Amino acid sequence: MRRVAEQAGCAPSALYRYFPSKRALLRFIWEEVFADLAAHLHRSVSPSSPPLVRLRDLSLAYYHFWLERPEDFRAIFLIQDQADTEAAGYFAQTSAAVGELRIFSHAIEQARQEGSLPQNDPLLVRDILFSALQGALLNVITIPEYSWSEPHQLGSTTVEIVLRGLGAPADFCLNGA
């Protein structure tokens, strides 16, 4: 908290007036960043697009959001949330903003119902998709000294390969479904 106060140009006591603990400050950051992410996702998709295209567009929007905000990615995903009490819960379990990520589950379910994504377990699809996206982001953002492929191309190809692997039609690609 002292380092945060120093960076903010205020006394630690002033910071504690707004945030009684480091976890409270992290929770505030978490909520703000995820609210920005949710707004970005909603702006990035067309409700009239076919479900598989929406899922692709959501995935790319998610990837590009974090790629453009690497410091927020580090703050959110590289700091281990430690609940003070069991009742306090973890941020991912109690955050209203994280609930906005249901937009992915809706697109997955609609693609499944439409038959363009035959995998029967929508939660598994969601988890595989997030794991692939997070893995690519984690590598590009936290290991910058490695000579990665162009980051946008890496994200696009990752999304395409994952969706095809989950059963998207063979002719599905990023330029059209």
- Domain residue limits at 122: 22-165
Instruction: Give the pLDDT mean for 54-70.
Output: 97
Q: Is 33 helix (H, G, I), strand (E, B) or coil?
A: helix
The predicted model scores a pTM of: 0.86
Would 143 be classed as within a structural domain?
Answer: yes
Count CB-CB contacts under 10 A for residue 62: 24
Would 176 be classed as within a structural domain?
Answer: no
Q: Which value, in Å, is the radius of gyration of the alpha carbons in the chain?
A: 18
Would 137 be classed as within a structural domain?
Answer: yes
pLDDT digits (tens, 9 = 90+) for 78-137: 877 676 666 667 777 777 777 888 899 999 999 999 999 988 899 999 999 999 999 999
* Model confidence band, residue 175 (pLDDT cutoffs 50, 70, 90): low
Would 152 be classed as within a structural domain?
Answer: yes
pLDDT digits (tens, 9 = 90+) for 1-54: 777 778 778 888 888 888 888 888 888 888 899 999 999 999 999 989 999 999
Nearest partner of 55 among 167, 135, 141, 138, judged by Cα: 167
Alpha-carbon distance of 64 to 149, in angstroms, equals 15
Overall domain count for the chain: 1
For the cut 80, the answer to whether the pLDDT of residue 57 exceeds it is yes
Would 170 be classed as within a structural domain?
Answer: no
Residues in Cβ contact with 103 at an 8 Å cutoff, skipping those fewer than 6 apart: 38, 41, 42, 45, 58
Taking a C-beta distance cutoff of 8 angstroms, is the pair 26, 79 a contact?
yes
Length of the chain: 177
Residue 173's beta-bridge partner residues? 176
Would 107 be classed as within a structural domain?
Answer: yes
Would 108 be classed as within a structural domain?
Answer: yes
CATH number at 50 reads 1.10.357.10
